[in-house]
């Protein structure tokens, strides 16, 4: 059910990036595309070279958005965008002092682009860096870290891209591509089996995951037809028992099951949870609580 994609620029969500740039430029420069400070203090023909530099270690994500930011500023101001050389690829581990990109052009345009470019790069690189810590903690196990829908409104495609750049895996993109049966759905439908059957009837091709909180609920979900279980807020002992019971149940029928753990997971217990035999652990904090990475633009 989870989908893992190459974090390279060929999978960068350029459409989402351009939409974000358009919104952010209007937010920052106003309807007239004006930087009142730079327009008053810097000659229109003054040029400079700038370096986008890492101030601390981390993992880079979002470098492909620099070009749309520069193009957007040029479009709003009627100028020619600065030249750009990206030196480090997304997914690369950064050290303090690494030069991510070099740009050269009108100083006014460079400064108009600076904050928006750094805001996005810092945010996405923070998500990638946080994700990499989880991926490293799970290295050597069968378990992969997943993101969730707990993303910043309007930034989901970009933040999920950053998760991939950090070595994680995307779960569902939204409510439209995977059905997730949770407790409220069970109540509304009249039971796990009824909820599962209703989804399968209405949406026969969609993947279905069922949330469970006990071994008994897991077996009931399997009986109903589910082959993807999300074990919510289970202790390590309960999770281990549930995984064993679920895998035994499907093995007797010559089938398989994917099992995810979620709820209250932290890096210090990640390896212990992975050792229970789960396939995935989902961590909302990858996108809702990742601290930014400190990046800067230094002009020569």
Q: Which active-site residues does the annotation give? A: 115, 150, 182, 211, 232
Q: Which helix (H) or strand (E) holds 201?
A: helix 192-202
Are 286 and 131 in contact by the 8 Å Cβ rule? The answer is yes
Q: What is the rounded distance in angstroms from the CA atom of residue 155 to the CA atom of residue 173?
A: 12
- In terms of C-beta density within 10 A (0-12 exposed, 13-18 middle, 19 or more buried), how is residue 33 classed? middle
**Residue 109 Ramachandran class (φ > 0 left, ψ -120 to 50 alpha, else beta):** alpha
Q: What is the rounded distance in angstroms from the CA atom of residue 128 to the CA atom of residue 137?
A: 14
Are 141 and 148 in contact by the 8 Å Cβ rule? The answer is no
């Amino acid at each position: 059910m989870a989908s893992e994609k190459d974090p390279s620029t060929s999978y960068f969500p350029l459409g989402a990036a351009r939409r974000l740039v358009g919104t952010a430029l209007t937010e920052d420069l106003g309807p007239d595309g004006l930087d009142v400070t730079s327009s008053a203090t810097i000659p229109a023909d003054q040029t400079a070279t700038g370096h986008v530099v890492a101030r601390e270690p981390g993992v880079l994500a979002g470098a492909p958005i620099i070009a749309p930011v520069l193009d957007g500023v040029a479009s709003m101001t009627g100028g020619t965008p600065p030249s750009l050389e990206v030196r480090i690829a997304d997914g690369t581990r950064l050290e303090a002092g690494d030069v991510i990109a070099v740009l050269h052009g009108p100083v006014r345009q460079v400064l108009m682009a600076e904050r928006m470019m750094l805001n996005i790069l810092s945010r996405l690189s923070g998500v990638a860096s946080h994700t990499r810590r989880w991926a490293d903690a799970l290295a050597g196990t069968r378990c992969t870290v997943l993101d969730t829908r707990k993303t910043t409104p309007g930034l989901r495609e970009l933040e999920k891209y950053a998760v991939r750049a950090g070595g994680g895996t995307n779960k569902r993109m939204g409510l439209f591509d995977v059905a997730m049966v949770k407790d409220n759905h069970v109540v509304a439908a009249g039971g796990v089996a009824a909820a599962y059957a209703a989804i399968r009837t209405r949406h026969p091709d969609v993947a279905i995951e069922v949330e469970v909180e006990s071994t008994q609920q897991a077996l009931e979900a399997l009986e109903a037809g589910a082959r993807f279980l999300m074990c919510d807020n289970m202790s390590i002992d309960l999770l281990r028992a549930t995984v064993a019971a679920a895998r035994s149940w499907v093995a007797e029928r010559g089938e398989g099951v994917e099992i995810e753990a979620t709820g209250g997971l932290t890096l210090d217990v990640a390896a212990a949870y992975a050792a229970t035999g789960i396939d995935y652990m989902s961590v909302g904090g990858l996108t809702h609580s990742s601290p930014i990475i400190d990046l800067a633009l230094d002009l020569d």
